[in-house]
Amino acid sequence: MTKAEEDTPLTERTLLVESRANEVAFERWGIGLPVPGANEEVLFLSYNYADLPVGKQFDCCYPRYDEAKVAWTTVTIIAVTQQFSLAWDQIPEGWKTLAILRFEPEVPSIIRDLPATAGWYEHPIAVRISSKDTWKARVSAPYPLAHVPAGAVFSEGSVCPARDSAARSVEIAPKSE
């Protein structure tokens, strides 16, 4: 199953970062991956929105629930694996992965300050990584995308396309049939 990035709405084109991987995690699942270099972090990523090749670049990262606090940095996918300890040439759509990402000119504090864990699900999604265009679309949306459940129908009738369903801080009207 493959999904091109272009087939994903612009506002949903974000890498979802759960945590940094600790040494135990990298030893267990990072077999076949290169040793991270300067300005690189091994991160647990949540379910991905599309197939993204190694080498793909992004422009920024920001807290999941405070997207205005953006850190501008070039982020490059360097290496990817999953629990099978095999290096992959892409982050596949719909998979949780262990990825090495390079941050230039340096790893921003929003990434450095993430907890280091031994596996997926140990820490909730905390950071989004995206292009400048995606970030701009998210922060300029007529509704706060970080806090709206997917498929929510607003009282004026517009439907929210966001996938986040954890937070429900916006008053919404029931879906009309």
Structural domain for 159, as ranges: 141-177
Q: Are 147 and 113 within one domain? A: no
Number of H helices, E strands in the chain: 3, 9
* Whole-structure pTM value: 0.80
Burial class of 135 by CB neighbour count within 10 A (0 to 12, 13 to 18, 19+): buried
pLDDT digits over 65-116, tens only? 999 999 999 999 999 998 777 899 999 999 999 999 999 999 999 999 999 9
10: domain CATH number is 2.40.30.10
Domains in the chain, number:
2
Q: Are 108 and 163 within one domain? A: no
pLDDT digits over 124-156, tens only? 899 999 999 999 999 998 876 665 444 444 444
What is the predicted pLDDT for the residue at 155?
42
3-state secondary structure of 128: strand
